[in-house]
Amino acid sequence: MDNGDRQYRQEKQEKWNEPEWGKVDRSFDKCPGCGCPARYSVEAMRGEISEDQIRVKPPALGVFQFIYDTALSRTRLDVVFDSCCRCGLIYTVARSKMKKPLVMIPKGRG
């Protein structure tokens, strides 16, 4: 393996080890394709709902929620998605992960 190939592999590995890739709770404020900040559902609802409602809780095209149980906790994954006004790309607006510990109740003797 030559020195250039080794450097390329090292840079690629460092890119995947960046903390941004591993973050679960994250939000995105613009389209990853073209960089446009305008979201379709916000622009489509602009005349229907007030600006205060848009500012507090902007509308979204869809929400995906996945709940699963493990031996120790119940985990919920939330993903909010919308599409770009300029290019039409559907992308993630926000994502989060919440864990709730399960309560273990021992069997009573009786």
Which range marks the domain in which residue 93 is found?
24-101
Average pLDDT, stretch 10-36?
Answer: 67
> Is 81 among the domain residues?
yes
pLDDT band for position 8 (50/70/90)?
low
Distances (CA, A) of 104 to 17, 39, 55, 75: 37, 44, 41, 16
> Is 11 among the domain residues?
no
93: left (phi over 0), alpha (psi -120 to 50) or beta: alpha
Average pLDDT, stretch 23-30?
Answer: 73
Average pLDDT, stretch 17-40?
Answer: 73
Q: How many domains does the chain have?
A: 1
> Is 14 among the domain residues?
no
> Is 8 among the domain residues?
no
> Is 71 among the domain residues?
yes
pLDDT band for position 49 (50/70/90)?
confident
> Is 16 among the domain residues?
no
In this structure, of 7-21, 55-69, 79-93, the range with the lowest mean pLDDT score is 7-21
* pTM listed for this prediction: 0.60
